[in-house]
Amino acid sequence: MREEIINLLKKENKLSNKTISEIKDIDLNDFSNIVKELGKEDTEYIKASEISKDLDTDYIGKNIYVFKEVSSTNTVAKFLSINGAESGSVVISEKQTKAKGRSGKSWESPLGGVWLSIILNPNVDYTKLPLITLATGVAVAKTLEKVGVENPEIKWPNDIIINDKKVCGILTEAVSKFNTIENVIIGVGIDANLNITDFPEKLQDGTTTLKEELGRSGDENLLIRTFLEEFERTTELFNHEGYEDILKEWRKRSYTIGKIVEVREPFNTYYDAYVLGIGKEGALVVEKIDGTLEKVISGECIIKK
Ligand code: BTN
């Protein structure tokens, strides 16, 4: 992580007058302040002032850090969170060079997409983490509805689907101290103003973009503002134990319930099953071929029918 942050600052000439040993001497907090200062400069397409204009939130997006290019917004957000960035801070980048997908996969992040991470101090224990991901999916789906997408669906746990193709992925990472969650980093990647040919050929089949679906480019700053508002509204429900409301909104848009899927749990446990629904803790409840019921807490599922 340190290397990635140093590279970011070097590329932007923020360390140009420093020798290697001087860089070594920089205190982590000072590093974090240089990153924050750099993130205060707007880029060509992402403008914090436009996102903040009329932003109707109490704390999400009160601090926005914008970059032209980072390795991964999740990595930068994690770094800032370790150094005391406030809950609700948002890191956005026009491009990512080493973006992270789920299950250790990489994530394509060319110019034109919305790549952002939110630092959240949600005051919940580990059992609620899956619900944060589901809540984020609901917030993205509601955002897409607001910009004109007719029927965005959510594939468990967190892929947003339009017309059977993926348009957005979500990666939630916890930053812990002594086994309790200090912060959660919620990374969201929306294929917004992109053509399908902007992606490598092997991804093109299952991928779509907002531009392809709506037949036009949209305002990425407005999209981000709308998402931050929806995100705060949905995650606010955590403060009132409104988990059932989140699940209700999720079920309404589910792409997975009622389908036959291949469940892929960690450590290569694969099996076919029928999806019965989603449980209280956000687990996928499935019926295996032999009739046994299973609660899938982590992993992914491939739709078969
Ligand atoms: C998935 O595999 O579906 C999750 C993809 C998450 C991508 C986003 S883009 C912004 C943030 N930064 C990252 O490195 N990953 C997430």
Q: Using one digit for the tens of pLDDT, what is the confidence trace for 71-130?
A: 999 999 999 999 889 999 999 999 999 999 998 899 999 999 999 999 999 877 788 888
Q: How far is the CA of 168 from the centre of ligand 1 (A)?
A: 9
Q: Using one digit for the tens of pLDDT, what is the confidence trace for 37-67?
A: 999 999 999 999 999 999 999 999 999 999 9
Residue listed under structure tokens 């029927």? 151
Distance between CA 36 and CA 63 in Å, rounded? 9
Residue 265: CATH number of its domain: 2.30.30.100
Atom of ligand 1 nearest to the CA of 113: 9
DSSP string, 14-35: SSTT--HHHHHHS-HHHHHHHH
Q: How far is the CA of 117 from the centre of ligand 1 (A)?
A: 9
Atom of ligand 1 nearest to the CA of 71: 14
Q: How far is the CA of 21 from the centre of ligand 1 (A)?
A: 34
Could you give the number of structural domains in the chain?
Answer: 2
Do 98 and 57 lie in a common domain? yes
Ligand 1 pocket, CB under 6 A? 72-74, 96, 99-102, 105, 107, 109, 115-117, 159, 169-171, 187-189
Do 16 and 72 lie in a common domain? yes
Residue 107: CATH number of its domain: 3.30.930.10
DSSP 126: G
Task: Report, as an integer, the average pLDDT of 246-270.
Answer: 92
DSSP 259: -
Do 71 and 181 lie in a common domain? yes
Q: Hey, what are 147's tokens? A: 């910009």
Split at pLDDT 50, 70, 90, the class of 26 is: confident
pTM: 0.94
Task: Report, as an integer, the average pLDDT of 16-21.
Answer: 77
| Atom 11 of ligand 1, residue of closest alpha carbon | 187
Do 202 and 273 lie in a common domain? no
Q: Structural domain of residue 297, as residue ranges?
A: 260-303
CA gyration radius, the chain: 19
Q: Do 217 and 148 meet the contact criterion of CB atoms below 8 Å apart?
A: no
Distance between CA 79 and CA 286 in Å, rounded? 37
pLDDT of residue 21: 80
Residue 31 CA: distances (Å) to CA of 37, 88, 231:
10, 20, 29
Q: How far is the CA of 100 from the centre of ligand 1 (A)?
A: 5
Distance between CA 185 and CA 247 in Å, rounded? 21
Q: How far is the CA of 190 from the centre of ligand 1 (A)?
A: 9
Beta-carbon contacts of residue 15 (< 8 Å; ≥ 6 apart): 6, 9, 23, 34
Q: How many Cα atoms within 13 Å fall on the side-chain side of residue 117?
A: 31
The mean pLDDT value of the chain amounts to 92
Do 277 and 241 lie in a common domain? no
Strand partners, 285: 277, 295
Do 230 and 86 lie in a common domain? yes
Is the bond preceding 157 in cis, omega lying within 30 degrees of 0? yes
